[in-house]
A and B are shown apart, each in its own frame.
Chain A
Amino acid sequence: MSTILLAAQAAESVHLNEVLVAESGVLALAWLIPLLPLLGFALVLLLRSTLKETAAYVAIAMSTASFLLSVGVFLALRAEPGAYLVDVFDWIDVGGFTVSLDFLIDQLTATLLLVVTGVGTLVHVYSLGYMYGDERYERFFAYLNLFLFSMLMLVLGSNLLGLFLGWELVGLSSYLLIGFWFEDMHNAVAAKKAFITNRIGDVSFMVAMFYAFQKFGTLDFVGENGILERAHTVLSSDQAFILGILLLGGAVAKSAQIPLYVWLPDAMAGPTPVSALIHAATMVTAGVYLTVRMAPVLVESLDLMVLISWIGAGTALMAALIALRQDDYKKILAYSTVSQLGYMFIGVGTGGFSEGIFHLFTHAFFKGLLFLAAGSVMHAFANRTDIWRMGGVRKVMPITFATSAIAWLAISGVFPFAGFFSKDQILTTAYEHGFTGVWAVGLATAMITAFYMSRWFFLIFLGEPRWTEGETVVDPHGHGETTLHPHESESTMTFPLIVLAVMSAGAGLLNFTHHGLFYTWLEPVTALSQREYFEHGPLTEPALIALSLVAAGLGILGAFFAYVRRDVSAGRGAEVISGLPAELLERKFFVDELYETIFVRFGGVVADGAAWFDRTVIDGIVNGAGASARGVGSVARRAQTGVTRSYVGSMIVGAVVVLAILLAQVV
């Protein structure tokens, strides 16, 4: 394996960000961006009985204001590029160790601010209709605001600890929202699973912070003493590997990569807008954000980069395979999210940091759209999520159909929709940096992606209905029976769909050529981590693009013949693949069962042992102390006769003895 060739000279020609302090203008007001949703959260939660349904509008107003400020920040940064520090307050100040809760605003932050507040606001609007009539309607909006606050703290943090604060808070909001309908045990369990799995990553993240502090003496990202600029001089390759892998531990948990992806599919137990916002568009990309932010550390170790790229490729492929045979259309989207996050990790691992962020950006739109469209269908079909009992939905829900079609084409990688550009640029980078194996896996995954997403789309929207108007449906959430009358959703729900559809169709144009607008926009941030990698093969970029398009075309065509041209009225029996491989995919490669056996059972044995130790040894000591005190007391209490004069007597005897001792000393 060749060592990393430094492209320091090359990097010098690119304009790096200068660290500036935001003193005036909209940048100095950036602290309002997270504060407004926090205010919204507090207001809605405290006044929810007074506000009633207007609570939703308070939350939407806060989120919109946040979005407008983010746009202002974006424009200000475009006018005068740089890495701006916004002073908020010193959080911890002990001796020589200071952690300030300052915000860092550079091109990367501004991009994520726009995604988070933009998609966030749309999801708020969508929830107006989707959550209407829920008994905890106001609380839902409070939690959405809390999530926005947390996510904004995460992307704005100017040091690892600030980022970690947001990191933990998004974990909490995610837990609250997955278990939003906690009356159903299934949802509560899913929330717990998400929280605990993330906790494993959090521990790794914390150790990473300790290690970084030991090496750098600071947790700040930028500046002369910051981690990013000094990573190359301070860390040896091995140390960078240790720090990187600890950070990666946090990232794989939050961004649902192998081996910690298991929580994300279960997280679909939450309300669908939550799946769209948190578990597709924003929170799960936090891991990608972390790795891109810390990229100068990661690139110091080539082994680590290779590892990250293979984690990404493995996750992308495995999740795509599982998605092939899921029947719940939210589950399909969940595995597809895991798979697309895998692509982002391929981007990061192969040194394509801005490509990874670009895919994060476009994915937020088309995956958010897919989930919201799925929610729209669920809304119309009384929470039915089985694709085999759908079909022909295009006739009753034309807007949902049209917008879903755009999202489907985008995720499948069809030119000129957003997903084509971002995914293809990741694969091109992987190839050009010499990660040929990763590229091949990515290409195969692209084909599978096109296939399963087409299956999703065809089975829901095309063909003949496999349901009947007016049939009785038992609500899976136990809200009794209703009759089925599918209809297009109301305008508050279709409006976000249309906006996201426009973005899914057009966002790719922002980086029409590989080193286009988006790439140069992020360059001041990513230039620090430009490296030379391996020799690459003979294929040129046009050939790579052609291969991607062929893969997407084959996938769609395959699904077309399997699910549109063939008779699928038999339901699940009409599947093309059957037998052992199908079983393996349906059971998700038995990963849940494996973890159940290894960790849960083993953990149970350890816990039983600890409980036994606690009951016998620890409790034994405590009870023993009590028993011995009681034993001594039962003897000693005889001295307490209750006869006053005997007390006086002993007092006098005592006094005489003390006197005698004193006299003996004097004499």
Chain B
Amino acid sequence: MPIGYYFVIAALMFCTGLTGVLLRRNAIVLFMCVELMLNSVNLTFAAAARQWGGADGQVFVFFVIVVAAAEVVVGLALIVNMFFRRGTLDVDAPQLLRG
């Protein structure tokens, strides 16, 4: 299969995630969209690594997975806390940082 297909799918996944981040208000959904974007990048790396036979891309994928795992731990903890404190998962509700 030509590598172009992988890239197209990855681009679609990325845009889906991006659109989700921009448009959705639920924190958990936002979070999942970020994961989607990360994984689209992973797909690109893996596909490119296979196509050109380099190991770098595969190594990067592992890095991204590890970082994403750590991010999930912190991010979910934040979301749970946010829910306990505010009783909502709407990210637009707390505009505490407005200048």
Contact = CB atoms under 8 A, between A and B. Distances in A.
Interface of A: 636-645, 648-649, 652
Interface stretch (B5-13, B48-56, B66-74, B90-98): B90-98
B17 to A, nearest CB: 11
Contacts of B79: none
Secondary structure class of chain A's binding surface, majority of residues: helix
Interface in B76-99: 91-92, 94-99
Contacts of B23: 645
A640 B22 CA distance: 17
A644 B91 contact: yes
Contacts of B91: 644-645
Chain B interface main SS type:
loop
Given A645-B91, A645-B92, A640 B21 contact: no
A640 B98 contact: yes
B28 interface: no
Contacts of A640: 97-99
B18 interface: yes
B30 to A, nearest CB: 8
22 contacts: A636-B99, A638-B99, A639-B99, A640-B98, A640-B99, A641-B98, A641-B99, A642-B96, A642-B97, A642-B98, A643-B95, A643-B98, A644-B91, A644-B92, A645-B21, A645-B22, A645-B25, A645-B91, A645-B92, A648-B22, A652-B18, A652-B22
A649 to B, nearest CB: 6
A659 to B, nearest CB: 12
A648 B92 CA distance: 12
A83 B99 CA distance: 78
Contacts of A642: 94-99
Contacts of A649: 22
B21 A641 contact: no
Contacts of B97: 640, 642
Nearest to A639: B99
Interface string B15-47: 000100111010000000000000000000000
Contacts of B99: 636-642
A638 B21 CA distance: 23
Contacts of B18: 652
Given A637-B99, A638-B99, A643 B92 contact: yes
Contacts of B21: 645, 648
Given A640-B99, A648-B22, 4 more contacts: A642-B94, A645-B23, A645-B25, A648-B21
A638 B99 CA distance: 6
A129 to B, nearest CB: 75
Nearest to B21: A648
Contacts of B94: 642
Contacts of A636: 99
A643 B22 CA distance: 11
A637 B21 CA distance: 24
Contacts of A637: 99
A641 B21 CA distance: 17
